[in-house]
């Protein structure tokens, strides 16, 4: 990669043609307009989101920055109750980056988009001087159509609602950490990076009116999301530590390294707040699907906090209760 690749001339044209248009397979993107003219008529209510990805290293077990950029934005739409439709992608490329690395990232983005059922319809590239960009940074934005009747909100949670995790905690954060540090230990942990629309949208359709709130468990992990749920709804929330699903390899590595899985990021898991009446059926529905096979009910909303101060309580493995605080400082920076 040279600075000329970002100058807007022939090198830029060749980069766009050879790396992106040949891989992302989008007729709309192929028009090379200043804005995407969307092919499908749009009707109804829509969700719109954007996210930037600065993960280090660019490639890690189970994923890479390209796969992460697509699924991260798809998941933000899915947990909002929206069917992802279109993405844009902006690339900040560092002078000196090997073109083969960019090929791999573009291939990964294309595969992730196909799996998620979305189309990348607009893109941009910029090149910065050597030492200014750490290889590749990617920004993606996404538009999705909200499913009819969805009004997901932490304020919708009521006393008795159950807390459900769609799978094991900490897989992504630990995978990135181990790939970055090169500690010389072999731990069979892979990122869980995956498109949650594949299970969450069918769940919403199957159980209309029973799902109160959803959030994907990225930076800050489950503990931070649970605190956001409590704070925004003014509730006391109780979590059973013994019920929290953690893969044995992740648990063992966390004990060795001093990490708490409740604070580690995932990129293919979500917290779901569901009515007590439907909780077991929702759990059964998720466990019947690959992305939800390790789902578990881990706690409940107990209603308005008696002290007036929202709080998350953790029932520990020894039977006591302790306050589960939100993340104060990032255990693992640059994981997404």
Boundary residue ending a domain (119, 146, 173)? 146
Answer whether the bond into residue 57 is a cis peptide, omega within 30°.
yes
Same domain, 294 and 178: yes
My answer on whether 122 and 164 are in the same domain is no
- What is the domain range of residue 109? 3-146
Same domain, 277 and 185: yes
Indicate whether 51 and 167 sit together in one domain: no
333: in domain: no
* Residue 192 and residue 87 share a domain: no
Predicted confidence (pLDDT) per residue in 56-102, tens digit: 999 999 999 999 999 999 999 999 999 999 999 999 999 999 999 99
pLDDT at 38 over 80: no
Are 182 and 279 in a shared domain? yes
**Reported pTM:** 0.92
Residue 206 within a domain = yes
Q: What is the CATH number of the domain that holds 46?
A: 3.30.1330.10
| Residue at 332 is within a domain | no
Q: Could you report the per-residue pLDDT of 11-34, keeping only the tens digit for each? A: 777 777 888 888 887 777 777 777
Same domain for 194 and 66: no
232 and 121 within one domain:
no
Answer yes or no: is 168 within a domain: yes
143 - beta bridge partners? 48, 86
Residue 61 token pair? 């077990």
End-to-end CA distance of the chain: 23
Question: Per-residue confidence at 135, pLDDT binned at 50, 70, 90?
Answer: very high
Give the HSE-up count for residue 197: Cα atoms under 13 Å, Cβ half-sphere.
26
- Co-location of 103 and 251 in the same domain: no
- 28 in a structural domain: yes
Residue 212 belongs to domain with CATH number: 3.90.650.10
Pick the last residue of a domain from 146, 176, 191.
Answer: 146
Structure tokens at 73: 């934005």
Q: Final residue of a domain: which of 113, 146, 179?
A: 146
172 located within any domain: yes
Three-state DSSP class for 182? coil
Residues 33 and 160 grouped into a single domain: no
Q: Which residue has the tokens 């997901």?
A: 152
Judge if 191 and 55 occupy the same domain.
no
Does residue 336 lie in a domain region? no
Do 170 and 61 share a domain, yes or no? no
Is residue 331 in a domain? no
For helices 99-116 and 65-78, the axis angle rounded to 10 degrees is: 30
pLDDT at 117 over 90: yes
Cα–Cα distance between 322 and 258 in angstroms, integer? Answer: 19
Question: Structurally, how many domains does the chain consist of?
Answer: 2
pLDDT tens per residue, range 140-188? 999 999 998 888 999 999 999 999 999 999 999 999 999 998 777 778 8
């Amino acid at each position: 990669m040279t600075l000329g690749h970002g100058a807007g001339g022939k090198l830029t044209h060749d980069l766009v043609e050879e790396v992106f248009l040949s891989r992302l397979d989008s007729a709309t993107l192929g028009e090379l307009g200043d804005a995407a003219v969307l092919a499908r008529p749009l009707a109804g209510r829509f969700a719109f989101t954007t996210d930037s990805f600065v993960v280090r290293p660019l490639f890690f077990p189970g994923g890479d920055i390209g796969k992460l950029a697509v699924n991260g934005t798809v998941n933000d739409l899915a947990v909002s109750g929206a069917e992802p439709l279109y993405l844009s992608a902006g690339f900040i490329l560092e002078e000196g980056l090997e073109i083969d690395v960019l090929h791999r990232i573009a291939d990964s983005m294309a595969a992730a988009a196909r799996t998620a059922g979305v189309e990348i319809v607009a893109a941009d590239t910029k090149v910065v001087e050597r030492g200014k960009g750490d290889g590749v940074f990617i920004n993606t934005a996404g538009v999705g159509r909200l499913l009819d009747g969805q009004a997901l909100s932490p304020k919708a949670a009521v006393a008795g609602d159950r807390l459900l995790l769609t799978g094991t905690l900490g897989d992504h954060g630990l995978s990135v950490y181990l790939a970055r540090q090169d500690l010389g230990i072999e731990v069979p942990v892979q990122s869980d990076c995956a498109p949650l629309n594949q299970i969450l949208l069918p769940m919403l359709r199957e159980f209309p009116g029973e799902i109160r709130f959803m959030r994907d468990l990225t930076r800050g992990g489950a503990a931070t999301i649970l605190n956001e749920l409590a704070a925004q709804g003014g509730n006391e929330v109780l979590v059973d530590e013994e019920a929290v699903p953690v893969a044995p390899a992740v648990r063992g590595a966390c004990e060795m390294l001093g990490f708490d899985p409740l604070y580690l990021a995932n990129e293919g898991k979500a917290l779901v707040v569901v009515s007590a009446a439907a909780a077991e059926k929702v759990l059964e529905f998720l466990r019947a699907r690959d992305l939800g096979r390790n789902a578990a009910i881990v706690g409940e909303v107990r209603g308005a906090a008696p002290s007036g101060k929202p709080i998350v309580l953790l029932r520990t493995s020894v039977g006591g209760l302790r306050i589960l605080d939100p993340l104060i400082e990032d255990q693992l920076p640059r994981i997404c």
